[in-house]
A and B are shown apart, each in its own frame.
Chain A
Amino acid sequence: MSERKNSEAADKAEQSLETREFSVGEILKQRGVSRRDFLKFCSAMTAAMSLPASFAPSVAQALDEVKRPTLVWLNFQDCTGDTEALLRAANPTVGEIILDILSVDYHETIMAAAGHQADEALETTITKYKGKYLCVVEGSISMKDDGVYGCTSGKTHLEIARRVCGSALATIAIGTCAAYGGIAAAIPNPTGAVGVRDAVPGATVINLPGCPCNADNLTATIVHYLVFGKIPAMDSKGRPLFAYGKRIHDNCERRPHFDAGQYVEHWGDDAHRKGFCLYKMGCKGPATFHNCPTQRYNEKTSWPVASGHGCAGCSEPQFWDTMSPLYRRLPNVPGFGIEATADKIGLGLVAGVGAAFAVHGALNALRKDKEPEETKEG
């Protein structure tokens, strides 16, 4: 029984291997994507990678010729939000193209296979294309108690990640959970959740944090790999510089209001209706690196600040703990009540010091001192 299944899986892998021989350009033609749409896509990707427009023809040429890469997509402790972001990408060509140019051999949410068949597909892919396939990880990995809090098909996520990411060409950690542990890793982190880099230290990991990750950044990362044959330049937190190299605050469309001194003071006030700066409403744009202001979400329709809500800092490590409270500028001071801000505590400290010295001064005014003996010698 299982032998037959094995041979079936092998046949399937054989077939997909044949289609893989076609170049991306040919596949797109077969799928009915017009040349015009393809070039539009290439221009959009060139812009997303922060390359000058003159690079668009090179991108198009490279994508025309490149062989489609194999990709497996693993879901761990997640909400499938990044998969949703990708599948619901409004721009039809982006969504189509990413699925068309990639040979997605394993993706629990969208694959037809289930159960043992799915397991076999994954097993076949990682054996056949050892060291050559790309792996996308969505969700954090539980480390506590040998990772028993997150299992798929009887194996812990930690075990799967070490095996699959360990022999991948590169792993793309999509979303903040896969990159840094995300919400699952927020204090008190009951499952000991971590990102891929911490769970599989030896793997080549590209972090694409965001909640959810912008699907355009995922596509651009893959296109970058296809065009240049290497992974993009990254910052100290493992994020591609083309997407995370600038602070939200420095590219924000509301920045002129910040510099001018025009701030929203309350939700729904006149300043809010006029689209002034959300700094005083706790916007974490000054603390967050992401290309939201330029790339935006959903076919460049909008992003949080454009729709009148401050940035939550979702693409930074431990954002759930370090960026809270969301509607205040500063974090709460540990050990003090929720309402005690750093400045209130500071003011109390200064008042206390002032009072103490006032008392000391009063006592000093009352006391009679003795001059040092030498002073009296003439």
Chain B
Amino acid sequence: MPHQAKYKRYIWELPVRWSHWTNVLSITILALTGFFIGNPVSFGESASDFTMGWIRFVHFTAAYAFAVSVLSRMIWSLVGNDYAGWKAFFPFLTAGGREKMVKMLRYYMFMDKEVPETVGHNPLATTAYFALFALYILMILTGFSLYAEHAPSGVMHKVLGPMYSLFSNQGMRLAHHASMWMIFGFIINHIYSAWLMDIKEHGSEISSMFSGYKFTVKKEK
């Protein structure tokens, strides 16, 4: 293919990339500390140690970082560029979006040979991100509701009041664990798909999440 040329285009703005990598870091920390909190190892040598105390502190700090990151990304979907916009996460609402989804799905299922060209988000991926953000919100709400129980007269407990009627206390813990496993399932899918499309699309899928630039056949309008 000697005459190939692609245009360099700025797709992912700084807040999108920051939010992505904050999520990566905080989810990793949250999962590791969460495993320990759910099934701790007796590391304590004496009652004056603070092993679980520190691990919980790290978990809560990462939880705040994660919550702020998710919230910022949701706000950015209202103020950022079109690729970051909320409409990208509902491709199934428009006829064009649905067509792209079908095309993508046919490629993934080995029914088509032509690699679909996507400029911003892959429409199937954004559908998964929509479900992922629902999981994130469930994770944040159940997590902070469990956290707030140390101060039942506090503001956080009052704000999260409806959560305590929706879930039993143990049910909340179960949902918190189950959501983590579902996020793990997503991560496997996500890394695999990014790797696959980086190879197939030649659009710099993976490095675009660092630099913000992708390479596309279509010129910037």
B4 close to chain A: CB less than 8 A: yes
8 A Cβ contacts from B119-177 to A: 149-150, 152-153, 161, 164-165, 168-171, 173-174, 177
Measured in the bound complex, the distance between the Cα atoms of B16 and A87 in whole Å is 66
Q: How far is the CB of B186 from chain A (nearest CB, A)?
A: 9
A30 to chain B, nearest CB (A): 42
Contact A261 B152, beta carbon cutoff 8 Å: no
A322 touches B169 (CB 8 A): yes
Query: Residue A346 contacts which of B4, B48, B108, B177 (CB distance < 8 angstroms)?
Result: B177
Interface pair A261/B150, CB less than 8 Å apart: no
Residues of B within 8 A of A317 (CB): 168
Q: Which residues of B contact A364 (CB under 8 A)?
A: 196, 200
Contact B170 A331 (CB under 8 A): yes
Contact yes or no, B181 A346, CB < 8 A? yes
Bound together, the chains give a CA A259 to CA B113 distance in angstroms of 57
A350, B184: Cβ atoms under 8 Å? yes
Q: Which residues of B contact A231 (CB under 8 A)?
A: none
Q: Quick one: which of B43, B114, B185, B189 contacts A369, CB cutoff 8 A? A: B114
Residues 86 to 121 of chain B near chain A (Cβ within 8 Å): 108, 110, 113-117
Q: How many CB-defined contacts (below 8 Å) exist between A and B?
A: 160
Contacts of A361 in B (CB 8 A): 192, 195-196
Q: Are B152 and A368 in contact (CB under 8 A)?
A: no
Residues B4 and A257 in contact, CB atoms below 8 Å apart: no
Q: Is the CB of A247 within 8 A of B149?
A: yes
Known: A256-B47, A342-B177, A346-B177. A353 touches B185 (CB 8 A): yes
Contact flag A265-B1 (CB < 8 Å), given A236-B165, A353-B188, A368-B113: no
Tally B residues with Cβ within 8 Å of A: 55
Q: How many residues of A contact B (CB 8 A)?
A: 60
Per-residue contact bits, chain A 258-269, to B (CB 8 Å; 1 contact, 0 not): 111111010000
A6 to B24, CA, bound (A): 79
The CA-CA distance from A250 to B51 in the complex, in Å, is: 17
CB of B50 within 8 A of CB of A372, answer: no
B41 touches A333 (CB 8 A): no
B49: which A residues are within 8 A, CB to CB? 259-262
A329 within 8 A of B: yes
Question: Which chain B residues lie closer than 8 Å to A289 at the CB level?
Answer: 152
A331 adjacent to B171 (CB under 8 Å)? yes
Interface mask (A284-295 → B, CB under 8 Å = 1, otherwise 0): 101111000000
Which residues of A have CB within 8 Å of B50? 259-260
Residues of B contacting A357 in the complex (Cβ-Cβ under 8 angstroms): 188-189, 192
Decide if A354 is an interface residue (CB 8 Å cutoff): yes
Q: A262: which B residues are within 8 A, CB to CB?
A: 42, 44, 47, 49
Closest chain-A Cβ to B85's Cβ sits at a distance in Å of 24
B217 adjacent to chain A (CB < 8 Å): yes
Decide: A279 and B192 in contact? CB cutoff 8 A: no
A120 CA / B53 CA spacing, docked (Å) = 60
Shortest B221–chain A CB gap in Å is 16
Residue of A whose beta carbon sits closest to that of B161: A236
- For residue A54, CB closer than 8 A to chain B, the reply is no
Are B52's CB and A259's CB within 8 A? yes
Contacts of B171 in A (CB 8 A): 322, 331
Q: Does A32 contact B (CB under 8 A)?
A: no
Q: Enumerate chain B residues within 8 angstroms of A333, measured Cβ to Cβ.
A: 174, 178
A329 to B174, CA, bound (A): 10
Q: Which residues of chain A are within 8 angstroms of B38 by Cβ–Cβ distance?
A: 329-330, 343
The answer to whether A260 and B46 touch across the interface, beta carbons within 8 angstroms, is: yes
Is A271's beta carbon under 8 Å from chain B? yes
Interface residues of A (CB under 8 A from B): 235-236, 241, 245-247, 250, 256-263, 265, 271, 276, 279-280, 284, 286-289, 313, 316-318, 322-323, 329-331, 333, 342-343, 345-347, 349-350, 353-354, 357, 360-361, 363-364, 367-372, 374-378
16 A-B pairs within 8 Å (CB atoms) are namely A257-B47, A259-B50, A260-B52, A261-B42, A287-B169, A313-B169, A322-B169, A329-B39, A331-B170, A345-B181, A354-B188, A360-B196, A361-B195, A371-B1, A374-B217, A377-B217
